[in-house]
Amino acid sequence: MILYVNACVRAESRTNRLAKALLDKLGAFEEVRLTDLEIKPLNEESLNYREAQIEKQNYDDSIFHLPKQFAEADVIVVSAPYWDGQFPAILKTYLENIYAIGIVSKYNEVGLPQGLCKAKKLYYITTAGGRYNPRFSFDYIDYLVKNMFGIKETELICAEYLDIEGNDAEEILSKAIRNINS
């Protein structure tokens, strides 16, 4: 199963357009549109509840639907626009909510995480109005999925400089889409 984690909030998102070009190439997918979910950052109550369910190994609880979906995917595509030097906060909230020990990761005997996710690859799709710096977006995702979730391969697909005066944003985006299809 191909899982599409869509962190785009605009109906006419350029990032989503770029992601859909990749998804057209990959085939059928299941989409999780983060803005349609009622997820919130973990707080004391929700964290304690999740930990209690993990301790009881009650992985049938509905709070584990998103972690299971992520862990079972064969390929994952994440689309997230580059805003103010990072990705949208809803993506961080999603990642926080799917990090369930026993589903996406476990700890070995010396306390290091070992990933349990099936995915062989995660694609990270982004667009930027100016210059793209992966430091606080892709690099974070890359580290997390490789070192905590066990996904060995990641790929960044990016279209940048879309809002620079004099640039043809449509041509830049079209070129990025053509690169996917080649």
Amino acid at 143: Y
pLDDT at position 75:
98
pLDDT at position 136:
86
pLDDT at position 85:
85
CB distance 6 to 33 below 8 Å: yes
**Overall domain count for the chain:** 1
User: Residue 64 belongs to a domain with what CATH number?
Assistant: 3.40.50.360
The C-alpha atoms of residue 78 and residue 124 are separated, in whole angstroms, by: 5
CA torsion sign, 47 to 63 to 53 to 150?
Answer: negative
The C-alpha atoms of residue 162 and residue 169 are separated, in whole angstroms, by: 5
Mean pLDDT split into 10-residue runs, the chain, 182 residues:
96 94 96 94 94 92 95 98 91 95 93 94 96 92 95 96 93 93 68
Question: What is the token pair recorded at 78?
Answer: 């994440």
Question: What is the token pair recorded at 121?
Answer: 């690859």
Q: Could you tell me the residue range of the domain that residue 46 belongs to?
A: 2-181
144 backbone dihedrals φ, ψ, rounded to 5°: -60, -50
- The kind and range of the H/E element at 48 are helix 44-55
pLDDT at position 116:
95
Nearest to 134 by CA among 152, 173, 160: 160
C-alpha to C-alpha distances, 18 to 3, 14, 69, 126, nearest whole angstrom? 16, 6, 23, 8
The C-alpha atoms of residue 172 and residue 127 are separated, in whole angstroms, by: 10
- Maximum C-alpha span of the chain: 59
pLDDT at position 182:
64
